[in-house]
Structure 1
Amino acid sequence: MKAPLDLAEVGSVGGFFALRTGTPPGGAQVASLARVYAGDDGPLAFRVDKVAARLGAPDTRIAVSVAQLGLAARLWSVALGSAALHGVVPVLDPALLHWDADGSSPDDLWLTDVTTRPADAASVREIVKDGHLAPLADALRTRYRISAALLWGNAGSALAGAARELDTWARRTGRTDAGERARALAVELFDHPDLRGTGTLRGTAFRRRSCCLYYRCPDGGVCGDCCFERPPQRSVRGSSPRGASG
């Protein structure tokens, strides 16, 4: 059915919650996510290289992790925001959802045709986790040497972050009903084998069991939900510290 959904209101939560509609802009790095997942890894490689240059990342895996974390946050935010505010979720069909690997939120995602489904946890999980995060992880692991546990940890971190941002916005705007729905949906979404072991969710506070590797960048540190309380020291041999799945 056509969407009884105010995407402008969803986007007012923050840039990560915005979703453009209609014909996507032209550009060398614009492609449907279906193409990206099917093996057109030009946009993925471009994004990873761009993130690596911006961060001064000494290891490609750091850029892969940060790039995937950003896209996961966009997808969870759009879906969770729509669900919490309007009780429906846009069907983010990878064939219809276009990504500009050279863009940033809110101008990186374009959905060419908007339809919706009821916003129960099963629908959100199918649309985001099964429809995007699983094939995205497969595409990245085909091209790069990166841990599946790290990528799923990023997915859990992104989901918790989206719920936290929604809850903060809801309290600030008097939409406590939306905040309650976001928190409840996050709890249900974490109750799945792929996300259940990624960390501990209490309310909107999350402590993950893996590390996104950002601390390894020249100016990096640990994120608020990191498994580490402070950046760990690298071993003399340069191996990854324990817990930094990567």
Structure 2
Amino acid sequence: MDTAGVELRPVLDEVGRINPFFRVEARAEEPGRRPVRDCTVEEARGRVADVRRSPAGPGGDPAAVEWRVAASLFHQGLATRLLSPVLAAGLCHGVLLDARAFDWRPGAPVELGTGQRTAARVRGGLVGVADWIEESVVTGVAARVAEALSEAGRVAPGLLRGNTAAALAGAVRVLGSDRPKVRADAESVARDLLARPALAGTGGYRGVDPEGLAVFRRTTCCLYYRLPGGGLCGDCALRG
């Protein structure tokens, strides 16, 4: 891909103001940081361990949080952080932000950065945006992390696919609420991606809410309800 074109830093700064899940820091090469796309089984285990400790609270028992529940929560949160800025850059600025260039520091809280300096412009309209999200995130980084998690422990691949779909729908909803001018386009991109093989059968839209935002319902459960004190998410399959 020819990345010559638009300077990315202003794009990252602008979309990063939407909320923390849209934030990616433009950074120079920094020792100790690794590409997220190269997530190893050991890194995946470490990330899940971090999540298990977090809900348990200070002095709590990580064993109270099932491994697969923590793996699911980690994956969905990361998928949201991968999808949100790529979606916003494509729809709000017409540029191709590459999630495969995102990096993080193992053992530290998940804060994404990128060494990508410029980006090519979107070609092919909304289909071009969907193609790029599918390539760089859905079948790219999010899928690779899901593979590492599946190798690291017992978590269903179908559940992780559902997490990616739910993360996409969540990113679309937040972007559509914050940027009403791109709401219809964002929902169109999501419907396109949900119909493609990588996400087919993971969920779909069911009407709109009072704010006019499309309502997504997934076909699998992220297992949040199995956390101590957890409940059902708004898009949960268990809601019927």
State whether residues 44 and 152 of structure 2, in contact with CA within 8 Å, keep that contact through their aligned partners in structure 1: no
TM-score (norm 2): 0.82
Which letter maps to 2:43?
P
State whether residues 90 and 114 of structure 1, in contact with CA within 8 Å, keep that contact through their aligned partners in structure 2: no
Pairing partner for 1:109 from 109, 112, 131: 112
Aligned to 1:113, the other structure's residue is in SS state: coil
> Which residue number in structure 2 is paired with residue 156 of structure 1?
165
Aligned length: 216
Cα deviation code 1:69-114 (max 9, x no counterpart): 1100001101111112111221222xx3212354446xx1010123
> Which residue number in structure 2 is paired with residue 237 of structure 1?
none
For residue 154 of structure 1, report the CA deviation from its aligned partner. 0.5
> Which residue number in structure 2 is paired with residue 31 of structure 1?
34
TM alignment of 1:82-121, pairs within 5 A: 82-93=89-100, 96-104=101-109, 108-117=111-120, 118=122, 120-121=129-130
> Which residue number in structure 2 is paired with residue 55 of structure 1?
55
Cα deviation code 1:127-157 (max 9, x no counterpart): 1112212211111111111111100010110
Aligned to 2:199, the other structure's residue is in SS state: helix
State whether residues 21 and 112 of structure 1, in contact with CA within 8 Å, keep that contact through their aligned partners in structure 2: yes
Pairing partner for 2:14 from 9, 12, 17: 9
Structure 2: unaligned runs, 5 residues or longer: 57-63, 123-127, 207-212
CA distance in structure 2 between the partners assigned to 1:68 and 1:225 by the alignment: 16
**Identity level (%):** 34
**Structure 2 CA distance for partners of 1:66 and 1:124, relative to 1, 3 Å:** same
1:79 aligns with 2:89: no
CA distance in structure 2 between the partners assigned to 1:141 and 1:43 by the alignment: 12
1:139 aligns with 2:148: yes
1:227 aligns with 2:237: yes
CA distance in structure 2 between the partners assigned to 1:100 and 1:33 by the alignment: 9
State whether residues 72 and 133 of structure 1, in contact with CA within 8 Å, keep that contact through their aligned partners in structure 2: yes
CA distance in structure 2 between the partners assigned to 1:151 and 1:34 by the alignment: 16
CA distance in structure 2 between the partners assigned to 1:22 and 1:194 by the alignment: 31
> Which residue number in structure 1 is paired with residue 71 of structure 2?
64
Structure showing the higher helix proportion among its residues: 2
Structure 1: unaligned runs, 5 residues or longer: 171-175, 231-246
Which letter maps to 2:74?
A
> Which residue number in structure 2 is paired with residue 241 of structure 1?
none
> Which residue number in structure 2 is paired with residue 186 of structure 1?
190
For residue 8 of structure 1, report the CA deviation from its aligned partner. 1.0
For residue 121 of structure 1, report the CA deviation from its aligned partner. 1.2
TM-score (norm 1): 0.80
CA distance in structure 2 between the partners assigned to 1:140 and 1:104 by the alignment: 18
Q: Which moved more, 1:138-147 or 1:179-188?
A: 179-188
State whether residues 24 and 110 of structure 1, in contact with CA within 8 Å, keep that contact through their aligned partners in structure 2: no
1:45 aligns with 2:45: yes
CA distance in structure 2 between the partners assigned to 1:100 and 1:92 by the alignment: 15
> Which residue number in structure 2 is paired with residue 236 of structure 1?
none
State whether residues 23 and 85 of structure 2, in contact with CA within 8 Å, keep that contact through their aligned partners in structure 1: yes
